[in-house]
Amino acid sequence: MGTDLSNVRNIGICAHIDAGKTTVTERVLFYTGKNYKLGEVHEGTATMDFLQEEQERGITIQSAATTCPWTRNGRDYKINLIDTPGHVDFTIEVERSLRVLDGAVAVFDGKEGVEAQSETVWRQADRYKVPRICFINKMDKLGADFEFSFNSIIKRLGAKPIAVQYPIGHGNDFQGIIDLLTMKAYFFDQTDLGATVIEKPIPDDLVDKAAEWRHMLIENAVELDDTLMERYLEDESSITDDEIRAALRKGTIARVCNPIFCGSALKNIGVQRLLDGVIDYLPNPQEVAEVQGVDPKDPDKKLSRPHDDAAPFSALVFKVVADSHGDLTYVRVYSGVLKKGARVLNPVNGKREIASRIFEMHAKDRLALDQVGAGNIVALVGIKDSITGDTLCDPDDPIVLERMTFPEPVISMSIEPKTAEDKKKLSEALVTVRREDPSFRSEYNEETGQTIISGMGELHLEIIKNKIVRDMKVNVDVGKPRVSYREAILGPAENCRGLFKKQTGGRGQFGDCTINIEPCTPEQAAEEGLKFDDNIAFVNAIVGGAIPKEFIPSVEAGIRQTAKSGISAGYPLINVKVTLVDGKYHEVDSSQVAFEQAGRLALREAVTKAGSVLLEPIMKVVITTPEEYLGNITGDLASRRGMILDTEDRGSVKLVTAEVPLSEMFGYTTTLRGLSQGRASSVMEFQKYAPMPANLQREVIETGA
């Protein structure tokens, strides 16, 4: 293959909405020679925001991948880069990108520091064990404060930031950066859009400040390496810059520290030095742990694959994009080599696929490849039956790589085709959207004859609706967004019987089963080693053949289907453990259908006996507001059944953190603008499901709203 993996970096750029991720990415593409002109988000010309919706709204909706070259100390590197969205409705895009990346650049707004969504992204990166470096962006913004942002990383993320740079000036006076390792100042020539970097001595008024921050850098770096620590205690001046870099690299890859860079992407300051930092501190594919998986024939047998071309081929599908020239399936190749036209196996569904073409992606442009080796991110054409989270591997040496977890949708609305022709087109469009977006669900409600689509928020559903109408040319009417409630049991219920008996002219139908049910959380199910599909655990405790083995899966299927469609109000039943304890069968009349019906009846009986409660999605809402509007805003939150958790001073503004039911938050952005004369802003994300007050529960059950 000829690719030296030590020269490859697979990184993502992620952050809170409006921290400047896409602008950073645009500068990266410009300085690496991938673009010959700068794209701007506010002008709708950003390369990575190529969807019409993204250009109109000035936000990133889907993650975009690109590959670009970078030279550091005379060595040529290849950076596979993914720009991810910051809006919480598209958190799935961040989730699936982090799953396949080896490192990330977390971008922060120099004035705001760590914001609500920054915390979410940081937690996701922790979950996937992704090493990070940080870039404090927008240092040219009025009110930007490097030290405040630096301290917010310690305080709000519990991280260990180590500054390797310090800004020259803040706000309008921001001119360049000081490298605390080389102790040189760097300025960026604006006549060629910052492409030329000018090195100068540190300005006199910042010499003492730079020395103080360098001392902190060395102290923190030597703590990461015992040998360095010994030498530091003997003679601080004997430690070289390269040794400090090596210690920081080791600490970053071990996820015990985060090097901090600063700059202004919009003003073209600091991005090249950030790219040097990506090379210096983030791991190459061989420096991260071998990818873990299981044997498809024996899920208890653990397997792993080294990041090596010589190993059997394995790759993870992390994104599918519908394209007029054939769907693009984005994969991260973990091991082995994939040649154009090769047959691969999807061990999740047992189907064989053909990778007819391989492309290295540059946003929406592509470069055809004949083959691809371990450690790379590419798009394949020809893959028909694989979706996000599936594995592709060598048919002779199968492995199922660890799947991703996707959040449950919290909001839904009805969508109806206008004509018979649109009906057919709509069902095809929904299948396409579902393949592209694992956080989207759609189902047809037999009783009402409506199609219900569900997603992560109002914006998410609006963008899906626009995609169906504008891109897929389907004429539809949509209903108002509705909350996706859930149902849970109040306590255990034992010996609940489901008897299904039907006698017609010929052979009858007979199924009889008895179950116990009890509340069960995902954590409890994991502790007991139970399969917790759709938040239901099923345990077969039948002894002595009271129900023949072949009918037990039918009982489970009946229970799961009934739980999905709900008992009291048509909302899915969750967090339940069902134990099948007894039953009876008939030699002639028993059948799979009869036992499926018996399972349905038993669950209905059990839930009625145990008592149930409706759960509603509770959102974590973070509002940034000038102090004079604080009273109005907290009063409004209280009227929405909100619970204020925290109020924090953030410079001249207040940060209010609250938990509010989703049903009370429709159209909140407009109300907030009215309450604060347009000066307050808010972000919200799903927090948990919690029981509803009894009066509202009755209302929902009666109206079906």
Percent helix, strand, coil in the chain, to 5, is: 35, 35, 35
> Which pLDDT does position 705 carry in this prediction?
53
Same domain, 222 and 240: yes
CATH number for the domain spanning 501: value is 3.30.230.10
> Which pLDDT does position 635 carry in this prediction?
94
Same domain, 124 and 264: yes
Which one of 59-63, 317-321, 608-612, 647-651 scores highest in mean pLDDT?
A: 608-612
Q: What three-state secondary structure class fits 130? A: coil
Of 46, 118, 96, whose CA–CA distance to 405 is shortest?
A: 96
Look over the chain and give the mean of its residue pLDDT values, rounded to a whole number. Answer: 86
Question: What gap in Å lies between CA 600 and CA 594, rounded to an integer?
Answer: 10
DSSP string, 623-673: EEEEGGGHHHHHHHHHHTT-EEEEEEEETTEEEEEEEEEGGG-TTHHHHHH
> Which pLDDT does position 398 carry in this prediction?
93
300-314 pLDDT per residue, tens: 889 999 998 999 999
Q: What three-state secondary structure class fits 580? A: strand
> Which pLDDT does position 447 carry in this prediction?
57
Tokens, residue 150: 């630096």
Question: What gap in Å lies between CA 51 and CA 104, rounded to an integer?
Answer: 24
Tokens, residue 290: 């071998």
Same domain, 15 and 86: yes
CATH number for the domain spanning 420: value is 3.30.70.870
**Maximum alpha-carbon separation in the chain:** 101
Lowest mean pLDDT among 27-36, 196-205, 504-513, 695-704: 27-36
Same domain, 85 and 163: yes
Q: Which amino acid is at 294?
A: V
Same domain, 552 and 630: no
Whether 679 is in a domain gets the answer yes
Tell me the pairing of strands 653-661 and 643-650: antiparallel
pLDDT band at 60 (very low <50, low <70, confident <90, very high): very low
Whether 88 is in a domain gets the answer yes
CATH number for the domain spanning 99: value is 3.40.50.300
> Which pLDDT does position 119 carry in this prediction?
80
Q: Are 260 and 134 in contact (CB under 8 A)?
A: yes
Number of domains in the chain: 5
pLDDT band at 36 (very low <50, low <70, confident <90, very high): very low
Same domain, 618 and 604: no
Q: What residues pair up with 162 in beta bridges, in sequence order?
A: 259
Same domain, 451 and 518: no
Give the residue ranges of DSSP H helices in 36-180: 52-57, 91-100, 116-127, 146-157
Q: Is the dihedral of CA 635, 636, 637, 639 positive or negative?
A: positive
157-183 pLDDT per residue, tens: 889 999 999 999 999 999 999 999 999
Whether 560 is in a domain gets the answer yes
Whether 421 is in a domain gets the answer yes
CB environment 506-529: b (16+ within 10 A), e (fewer): eeebbbbbbbbbbebeeeebeeee
Question: What gap in Å lies between CA 284 and CA 297, rounded to an integer?
Answer: 32
pLDDT band at 55 (very low <50, low <70, confident <90, very high): very low
- Point out the domain boundary residue: 447, 463, 484: 484
Whether 24 is in a domain gets the answer yes
> Which pLDDT does position 93 carry in this prediction?
65
pLDDT band at 448 (very low <50, low <70, confident <90, very high): low
Same domain, 469 and 502: no
Whether 406 is in a domain gets the answer no
- Point out the domain boundary residue: 287, 303, 320: 287
Residue 599: domain span? 487-610
Q: Are 384 and 366 in contact (CB under 8 A)?
A: no
Question: What gap in Å lies between CA 702 and CA 488, rounded to an integer?
Answer: 18
- Point out the domain boundary residue: 484, 514, 533: 484
Three-state SS annotation for 176-239: EEEECCCCEEEEECHHHCCCCEEEECCCHHHHHHHHHHHHHHHHHHHCCCHHHHHHHHHCHHHC
DSSP string, 53-99: HHHHHTS--S-EEEEEEEEETTEEEEEEEEE---SGGGHHHHHHHHH
DSSP state of 541: -
Same domain, 158 and 129: yes
Whether 193 is in a domain gets the answer yes
Beta strand residue intervals within 486-554, DSSP E: 486-489, 493-502, 509-519, 536-540
Same domain, 491 and 425: no
Question: What gap in Å lies between CA 692 and CA 662, rounded to an integer?
Answer: 12
Same domain, 80 and 97: yes
CA 95 to chain centre: 2
> Which pLDDT does position 701 carry in this prediction?
78
Residues 6+ apart with CB under 8 A from 20: 107, 109, 137, 138, 265, 266
231-273 pLDDT per residue, tens: 888 887 888 999 999 999 999 999 999 999 999 999 999 999 9
CATH number for the domain spanning 392: value is 2.40.30.10
Residue 578 has pLDDT above 90, yes or no: yes
Residues 6+ apart with CB under 8 A from 702: none
Q: Are 576 and 518 in contact (CB under 8 A)?
A: yes
Residues 6+ apart with CB under 8 A from 233: none
Same domain, 542 and 575: yes
Whether 349 is in a domain gets the answer yes
> Which pLDDT does position 42 carry in this prediction?
43
DSSP state of 38: -
Q: Are 79 and 68 in contact (CB under 8 A)?
A: yes
> Which pLDDT does position 37 carry in this prediction?
47
**Helical (H) or strand (E) element with 675:** helix 668-676
CATH number for the domain spanning 633: value is 3.30.70.240
Residue 86 has pLDDT above 70, yes or no: no
